[in-house]
Structure 1
Amino acid sequence: MNQKTIRAELEDYLKRNYISINQFAEASGVNSGTLSNIINGNRSISMLQLDRITEGIGLVEGSFYDLYIEDCFNHQPLNWRRLRPLLYRCAELDKLDCIGRLVGMMTDNLAYTPLLFDIAEDLFKQGKCTAAALLFEKVAESEKYQHSERLALCQYRIFTLTMFEENEVKLRAAVQFEGFVKRLDEMDQLDALKDLANTYLSLQRRDKVEKFAKEMGHIATIHYKYRNKQTKIKRLHKDPKMPLFVYILYAHILCSSVCVERGDYDLGLHYVSLYSDMSWVREDTEEAHRLMNQCKMWAKANSYLIRLMKGEFELLPEYVDYIEQYEEEILLALFMILQIANRNQFNVDDMLLRFEHQIPEFKARQGEEGRYTPLVIEDRYAHFMAELTLYYMNRGEYEKGMNYMLEGLESALKINSRVCIIRFVGLFEQFRYAASQESQMLYKHLISNVQNNNLAVSNLLIMESDSDNYTYS
């Protein structure tokens, strides 16, 4: 019995199917002489030849990769010219076990570490995130005693790849990455600090948001002043992803958000004034003006919101007129208005009637290109539905409120937002007496998904969750 190798498998296939080498060469596109030398063990197999042989035999792509690793690398010196294309092909086919085997062979030799890092970076840019994450983890493991910038970049990429995971995963990754930020180049630090601040914002960790926002603003301010003074000197640093002035403005936006959530409205307005004044910005490009105009819009909108939160309710019509010009911001604006109305028990029926035709469009718009990702839109839509439910329930319009509640619960389940799920379960239990038989049946069907997602129902059956932590900016 032949040892199980690619050569033996090919030879056995030809014999079983009474196919000559010439016939197989014609079917596979591999030269007959090359095939003969491969079968006789006189020639190694390239990746292209391996894929063509696999297809010629009628097997799924990558079926021979485990054998290929065994044939070419287990008992022979490693060859980067073969390893590199195989790693890329394994990433394309999502053959993570094969990548793990290959990298395990290579990480004993530190000379391969920078080469693996370069492939991981390339795969990351191509969007092959799972394979990239595996390589970054292996490189980080081999570099853990080196205290290098490459190690910090690996940790940054690993953190970045968890930003759309569940909150527990995001929190662990953020905490782990914090210790590596200062090892990055300062231009990379700006984006890393922005990503950490945004992650902690989504996790409702206000202290962390403020800390990293201020660090980001401090670094950006130093470099902005330096670059404007040294315009004729060759730059020593690479550019960050956004213009430097944007990091300064965004730091003020984040700090303003934190202040408002703490109830310090006056300090929040102070930060708004800082990112509304852009007289110091020197950039004069079309993109710079677009970004500055966007910040000015946020500043005006958030100034209205903070003053509404302070009790200046007479500004509501003026704010609604202003925000109606900006379609992407309407959903968030309505959410904030409803939150203020529910907190202060005042009537916004006219406003809801004004935007009634747009409410169903908010969810449908999630597939469109824009400033917000589909996940962000779905999350905001679920939060909005919770406030809308509470508004109508408090006004005794139970049927309308129950419809919005069930729709919102469905959205919350879709994105597995535990905060929203808890909120909707609490609302349903609070107003169960007003639910029709049909609504109770639909609720029971939806809540079964909570149990299937291993969320403890006993932890969900609470009357209300703290929705005040939803950011306004």
Structure 2
Amino acid sequence: MGGLQGTMHWSLRSEIERHRRECGYTLSKLGELTGINHGSLSEILNGNPPRAMTIGQLDALAAVFGREPGWLYELYTEECITEGRISRPRLIPYLVRCAEVGRKDCIEEVVPKLLDNPKNISTLFLVAEQLYESGKQKESVPFYQAVVDSEKDGHSDQFVMSQYRLFRAALGTNSEENGEAVIRFSPYRNRLPENYQLDALFQLARVCFALQKWKKSEQYADELRFLAETIYIHELDRLKRNKKSELPETERHLVFYYAIGHLFKGAALEMQGLYAQAKPYVQGYADLGWFELLDEVGHQEVEKFRVWAKANLYTLEVLAGNTSIIEEYADYLESLPTNEILAGLISIMISANMYQFCVDEILERFSSHIASFGQFKEAIGLDRHLQFRYQTAIYEFDKGRIERGIEETLRCLSLADLMNRYDDTLKCVALFEEYRQYASTTQVEQYRTIVTGKRAI
């Protein structure tokens, strides 16, 4: 046995042995408490050479000895890598556990050793996938990043998938970071397998919409519609020829991707003031009963988009200046969930500001919903909340209600600051400064707190 290997094994096992003696446990008792077979435990601690232990066994010993998770992990690496040989069955669970319990020091020690051999990149990818699939996106990031940094083949499955996983993990409420994530990932989107490509295009369209990059959102929505339709036609053709289904396994039903591609296309056109051009795309998801391959989930999606289409057709009418349907639209909004009410009220406020009509009764009618808009924490919800507050601020100023206008401006400014939305921040600052002379001491102080970087809300 090599000197270093022997020392490390002895160090790991001598620590375990020392704790066993301090606790006064026999091997039989220790085996009973840890659930490790007595014979196996004896071979692990006293074998010559000692039997390798699993990370789960080390965790069980730590728990019995009252030690914190991650105990002796720095000494465990020799169980996984000996004389340049790697035991993947022990190494992968070890690195997963290091990530779970926060032993970054151990990860940073092991990963460079692995990368001495390019074949081990696949091991890091498997670790990342295990973490990601178990809901630990943040913990998976360093491993995916190591794959991206080390893989020379930019077309390999693990490289492209790592780029996609990093993109998904990076998405949050910070607009600047979301924009950077789109730039990093978008060149690789067409290299993904079709099932992941559908999800990726949906996320790209969604994020670009939230970033107000309307042309980019249109582009990804077009790609998504085309891909979903291509897969749909291919699947119908296979079924007509009595062949086995080849529908890709996706996060959502295929009809969702087809419909959401239409939705983002129409929404992006709407945001550019192209209401007549947007209408056919909204009608494209208003009635998807013709869509075959629908199971129960698919039928639920069809119904959901039918409801959204009805609301969005109202929206286009209102934005185009048809104020006669405002009350009818408000009645319909009341039947929808809060996030859809928020989207509808933005359209009503934009229209009220554009065509100079009064919506005080509508604001009063939805006051309890408006009071709950602060619950939205995801990018699109925050963006909608910001747009609503900005339009409401303009509305209140136009109605001569200066104090309320200032209050709405401060709410909007705080949201823009939270999301790192510099353009919106500047718009809010300009709006506040226009009415600053009417602001109370408290409002001026609140404004100063936000713009100096100490968030008040």
TM-score, length-normalised on structure 1? 0.82
**Equivalence for 1:341:** 352
* In structure 2, distance between residues paired with 1:81 and 1:414: 44
Q: Does 1:321 align with 2:321?
A: no
Decide whether aligned partners of structure 1 residues 123 and 11 sit closer, same or farther in structure 2, where only a CA change above 3 A counts: closer
Decide whether aligned partners of structure 1 residues 35 and 408 sit closer, same or farther in structure 2, where only a CA change above 3 A counts: farther
* In structure 2, distance between residues paired with 1:25 and 1:417: 63
Deviation (angstroms), 1:157: 0.9
Conserved 8 A contact 1:385-1:408 = yes
* In structure 2, distance between residues paired with 1:314 and 1:415: 36
> Which among 206, 211, 216 is matched to residue 203 of structure 1?
211
- Identity rate of aligned residues, in percent? 28
Secondary structure (helix, strand or coil) at the match of 2:357 reads coil
Decide whether aligned partners of structure 1 residues 295 and 170 sit closer, same or farther in structure 2, where only a CA change above 3 A counts: same
Deviation (angstroms), 1:416: 4.7
Decide whether aligned partners of structure 1 residues 434 and 118 sit closer, same or farther in structure 2, where only a CA change above 3 A counts: same
Secondary structure (helix, strand or coil) at the match of 1:50 reads helix
> Which among 228, 245, 254 is matched to residue 244 of structure 1?
254
Whichever residue aligns with residue 116 of structure 1, its letter is L
Deviation (angstroms), 1:123: 1.1
Q: Does 1:133 align with 2:137?
A: no
After superposition, where does 1:16-415 map in structure 2 within 5 Å? Answer: 19=22, 22=25, 29=33, 34=41, 38=45, 42-43=49-50, 44-55=52-63, 59-69=67-77, 73=81, 77-145=85-153, 147-164=155-172, 166-231=174-239, 232-236=242-246, 238-328=248-338, 329-364=340-375, 366=376, 374=378, 376-415=380-419
* In structure 1, distance between residues paired with 2:147 and 2:402: 57
| 1:418-454 alpha-carbon deviations (Å, 9 max, x no partner) | 45544433332221111112222333334343589xx
| 1:175-199 alpha-carbon deviations (Å, 9 max, x no partner) | 2222222222223222111111112
The total of aligned residue pairs comes to: 444
Conserved 8 A contact 2:393-2:406 = yes
Conserved 8 A contact 1:304-1:319 = yes
> Which among 433, 439, 444 is matched to residue 440 of structure 1?
444
* In structure 2, distance between residues paired with 1:294 and 1:12: 60
| Unmatched segments (≥5 aa) in structure 1 | 367-372, 453-473
| 1:205-245 alpha-carbon deviations (Å, 9 max, x no partner) | 22221212111111211221221232121234523332323
**Equivalence for 1:369:** none
* In structure 1, distance between residues paired with 2:140 and 2:408: 41
Deviation (angstroms), 1:309: 1.6
Deviation (angstroms), 1:19: 3.1
Secondary structure (helix, strand or coil) at the match of 1:179 reads helix
Decide whether aligned partners of structure 1 residues 208 and 26 sit closer, same or farther in structure 2, where only a CA change above 3 A counts: same
Decide whether aligned partners of structure 1 residues 40 and 22 sit closer, same or farther in structure 2, where only a CA change above 3 A counts: farther
| 1:354-387 alpha-carbon deviations (Å, 9 max, x no partner) | 22233213335x4xxxxxx655434433332222
* In structure 2, distance between residues paired with 1:283 and 1:20: 63
Whichever residue aligns with residue 60 of structure 1, its letter is E
**Equivalence for 1:467:** none
* In structure 1, distance between residues paired with 2:91 and 2:24: 28
* In structure 1, distance between residues paired with 2:27 and 2:409: 63
Decide whether aligned partners of structure 1 residues 274 and 259 sit closer, same or farther in structure 2, where only a CA change above 3 A counts: same
Secondary structure (helix, strand or coil) at the match of 2:97 reads helix
Deviation (angstroms), 1:143: 2.8
Decide whether aligned partners of structure 1 residues 375 and 145 sit closer, same or farther in structure 2, where only a CA change above 3 A counts: closer
After superposition, where does 1:450-461 map in structure 2 within 5 Å? Answer: 450=454
| 1:391-437 alpha-carbon deviations (Å, 9 max, x no partner) | 21222212333333334444444555545544433332221111112
Conserved 8 A contact 2:178-2:207 = yes
Moved more, 388-397 or 50-59: 50-59
Decide whether aligned partners of structure 1 residues 15 and 121 sit closer, same or farther in structure 2, where only a CA change above 3 A counts: closer
Conserved 8 A contact 1:38-1:45 = no
**Equivalence for 1:466:** none
Conserved 8 A contact 1:21-1:36 = no
Decide whether aligned partners of structure 1 residues 429 and 12 sit closer, same or farther in structure 2, where only a CA change above 3 A counts: same
* In structure 1, distance between residues paired with 2:384 and 2:215: 23
Q: CA RMSD in A?
A: 3.3
Secondary structure (helix, strand or coil) at the match of 2:309 reads helix
| 1:279-325 alpha-carbon deviations (Å, 9 max, x no partner) | 53124533222211221222221112112222212221121112111
* In structure 2, distance between residues paired with 1:7 and 1:418: 58
* In structure 2, distance between residues paired with 1:85 and 1:202: 38
* In structure 2, distance between residues paired with 1:322 and 1:20: 70
Q: Does 1:428 align with 2:446?
A: no
TM-score, length-normalised on structure 2? 0.84
The runs of 4+ residues in structure 1 deviating greater than 6 Å are 12-18, 30-33
Whichever residue aligns with residue 19 of structure 1, its letter is E
Moved more, 354-363 or 17-26: 17-26
Conserved 8 A contact 1:162-1:169 = yes
Conserved 8 A contact 1:47-1:82 = yes
Moved more, 193-202 or 339-348: 339-348
Whichever residue aligns with residue 362 of structure 2, its letter is M
Moved more, 247-256 or 420-429: 420-429
Secondary structure (helix, strand or coil) at the match of 2:171 reads coil
Secondary structure (helix, strand or coil) at the match of 2:22 reads coil
